[in-house]
Structure 1
Amino acid sequence: MNILITGATGFLGSKLAVQLTNLNHKLYILSRSAEKKSNTSHMTFLNYETTANELPKIDAVINLAGESLFGYWTKKKKEMILTSRIRVTKYLVQLMEDMKEKPRVFISGSAVGYYGMSEDVMYTEATTQPGNDFLASVVRQWEAEASYAENMGIRTVYTRFGVLLGNDGGAFPLMSLPVKLYTGGHLSDGEQWLSWIHVQDAVKLITFCLENQNMEGAVNVTAPTPKRNKDFIKKAAQIYKRPNWLHLPAVFFYLALGEMAQLLVKGQFVYPQKALEQDFIFDFPSLDQTLSDLKNNSSK
């Protein structure tokens, strides 16, 4: 397939790009620094001024672009989090509208933040009521922009990512650092749910959505075994053979990080119902397997 993709140089996107080229797909990568990149037989870099007339027939579009959530959430930062997602999605939708022959599928990155925060509710793709906090608002508007692709008859998938675990990016290096430094412990009361997924499984599930015609609408990109923060840290301490003794109150994180602290001290139990119903097989369904793999491959 010819695949148009954004965010292909990021933590998740770079791994997805490798997987897709290994499957002999041809990637057309939108980048803000396209002129600094070197094209290959399987990768062509394009800038964000590219028009539909300049593209070959595109079979699929994957959007993984967006301002990082990490950082103090000033008014400007929050505007960037929202506008970066809306702007790129609008651009892609317009590109698809201008294409004479439409792509077969549009995979639009999204987040479990759609559901809001809860310690006692299990969310699946059947949950249609979004949360009422900032992140839920961002995701709702983001998906609304992407939904215009559906009106063109394009199969549209909203991949709602949980916390991506990998050694060379995502949240895990920061989450595991206190444990490795012998200062591990749960955050706040430790009861908040962490809906996580090994980055390898995230790549695999995106590829599954690309190929499986039954995958459309919201898709939770999470492992089937979410963990409470206290259990996650306990397991990490066991895997790395470190103590688990320091427990930091929520107020510490709100003072240090402001509103962004909710990413650490709150959470949600998100279950990948749709993937499991379509017989998707996780390579790392359990936290034990995932942390062991990350530890064993940390020097590679």
Structure 2
Amino acid sequence: MNILVTGGTGFIGKALLPHLTHERITVLSRNPPRAYQQLGHHIKVIDTLDTLPNLDDFDAVINLAGEPIINKRWTERQKQEICQSRWTITRQLADKIKAGNHPPHVLISGSAVGFYGDQQSRSFDESLEVNHQDFAHRVCRQWEEEAQAAQSEHTRVCLLRTGIVLARHDGALARMLPAYQLGFGGPIGSGQQYFPWIHLQDMVKGILFLLKHDEASGAYNFTAPYPVTNKEFSRTLAKVLHRPHFFKTPAWLLKLGLGEAATLLLDSQRALPKRLQEQGFHFCFPKLEHALEETVGDKSRIDEPGGV
């Protein structure tokens, strides 16, 4: 299989590529030398899609590109960067797919549970229809619409509505660890908001599942089947690390530091992966404590996902 990957040097991309060693991989990167350094020379790297009239040479496209959404305050300039880093490349991919006579069989494209906005304590699956005005929803809605434009009788489109991906050396958990390791961890805001999470190994395994199952299309919640509140997540992380759990970050302080981006940590999304499970996907880490033990606890053995 010949696969085009965007975002291959990102957090999830770097975890995914080692599991595609039997495929022919092309990575789109603005910095090919750095991509070769990080990923190895067994892959092909291109720095633009402009030289490709279409994507007929590829069997599949995995689109993981996008400016990190939580790393900086949401200034107008940063919002523009967050949007365009997702929308523009996805639009280009869809246009190239539609331009061919023998297009890729599948486009797997990123999204996030931010699509749903704040749903408080009620649980929901992919059938929930929302139309919020908040920034995270607007980013995800157009991101998905750009990808869905590639859908045809020849090309199926799968959308990854991803929660917080758990890994030791990257992502949100890696940024949380230092405070918890020092004994300063604790819930954020009220702690009652639901915290949709997924282990990195299940994230990778899920992408491979959608890649291989021809009947898969549409939106999928990439979240573990047992979501927890932020307070429960925090308490479990402290337990796994054998650290106290006394401190609390008030919502006002988070808003002061992050501004509007604080909504990503204060909104509640009790998202369930109904469609993945109905189609036969089995999670390696359905429950939080096991996932954290594997990732950061005494039983932690690996930093990258294992066999999938």
Matched residue, 2:17:
17
Matched residue, 1:30:
28
Asked if the contact 2:121–2:268 (Cα under 8 Å) also holds between the matched residues in 1, the reply is no
Matched residue, 1:47:
47
Unaligned ranges ≥5, structure 2? 304-308
Match runs of 1:148-167 below 5 Å: 148-151=149-152, 153-167=154-168
Matched residue, 1:124:
125
Give the 3 Å change call, closer, same or farther, for CA 250–87 of structure 1 in structure 2: same
Asked if the contact 1:11–1:168 (Cα under 8 Å) also holds between the matched residues in 2, the reply is no
Give the 3 Å change call, closer, same or farther, for CA 298–135 of structure 1 in structure 2: farther
Matched residue, 2:3:
3
Q: Distance in 1 between matches of 2:20 and 2:294?
A: 22
Matched residue, 1:59:
59
Does the residue aligned with 1:218 lie in a helix, a strand or coil?
A: strand
Does the residue aligned with 2:67 lie in a helix, a strand or coil?
A: coil
What is the CA-CA distance between 1:178 and the residue it aligns to? 1.8
Q: Using structure 1 for the length normalisation, give the TM-score.
A: 0.94
Aligned CA RMSD, in angstroms, stands at: 1.8
What is the CA-CA distance between 1:129 and the residue it aligns to? 2.1
Does the residue aligned with 1:150 lie in a helix, a strand or coil?
A: coil
What is the CA-CA distance between 1:41 and the residue it aligns to? 7.0
Asked if the contact 2:105–2:155 (Cα under 8 Å) also holds between the matched residues in 1, the reply is yes
What is the CA-CA distance between 1:166 and the residue it aligns to? 0.2
Measured against aligned partners, the alpha-carbon deviations of 1:219-240 in whole angstroms (never above 9, x if no partner) come to 1111101110000011111111
**What is the aligned counterpart of 2:300 among 273, 297, 300?**
297
Matched residue, 2:183:
182
Q: Distance in 2 between matches of 1:40 and 1:232?
A: 36
Measured against aligned partners, the alpha-carbon deviations of 1:167-193 in whole angstroms (never above 9, x if no partner) come to 111110122322111111111110010
Match runs of 1:269-288 below 5 Å: 269-288=270-289
Asked if the contact 1:105–1:154 (Cα under 8 Å) also holds between the matched residues in 2, the reply is yes
Match runs of 1:62-141 below 5 Å: 62-70=62-70, 71-141=72-142
What is the CA-CA distance between 1:248 and the residue it aligns to? 1.9
What is the CA-CA distance between 1:153 and the residue it aligns to? 3.7
Matched residue, 1:216:
217
Q: Distance in 2 between matches of 1:264 and 1:109?
A: 19
Asked if the contact 1:97–1:152 (Cα under 8 Å) also holds between the matched residues in 2, the reply is no
Asked if the contact 2:32–2:45 (Cα under 8 Å) also holds between the matched residues in 1, the reply is yes
Q: Alignment identity in percent?
A: 38
Give the 3 Å change call, closer, same or farther, for CA 85–241 of structure 1 in structure 2: same
Q: Using structure 2 for the length normalisation, give the TM-score.
A: 0.92
Asked if the contact 2:235–2:245 (Cα under 8 Å) also holds between the matched residues in 1, the reply is yes
Q: Distance in 2 between matches of 1:240 and 1:30?
A: 38
Asked if the contact 2:54–2:97 (Cα under 8 Å) also holds between the matched residues in 1, the reply is no
Does the residue aligned with 2:30 lie in a helix, a strand or coil?
A: coil
What is the CA-CA distance between 1:4 and the residue it aligns to? 0.6
Q: Distance in 2 between matches of 1:251 and 1:129?
A: 27
Q: Distance in 2 between matches of 1:264 and 1:93?
A: 31
Measured against aligned partners, the alpha-carbon deviations of 1:175-221 in whole angstroms (never above 9, x if no partner) come to 23221111111111100100000011000000000001222100111
Does the residue aligned with 2:12 lie in a helix, a strand or coil?
A: helix
Q: Distance in 2 between matches of 1:242 and 1:178?
A: 10
Unaligned ranges ≥5, structure 1? none
Q: Distance in 1 between matches of 2:54 and 2:206?
A: 30
Q: Distance in 1 between matches of 2:86 and 2:285?
A: 29
Amino acid at match of 2:58: I
Amino acid at match of 1:162: G
Give the 3 Å change call, closer, same or farther, for CA 238–61 of structure 1 in structure 2: same
Give the 3 Å change call, closer, same or farther, for CA 102–299 of structure 1 in structure 2: closer
Q: Distance in 1 between matches of 2:195 and 2:6?
A: 27
Matched residue, 2:306:
none
Asked if the contact 2:2–2:60 (Cα under 8 Å) also holds between the matched residues in 1, the reply is yes
Q: Distance in 2 between matches of 1:12 and 1:283?
A: 17
Matched residue, 1:242:
243
Give the 3 Å change call, closer, same or farther, for CA 187–260 of structure 1 in structure 2: same
What is the CA-CA distance between 1:101 and the residue it aligns to? 1.1
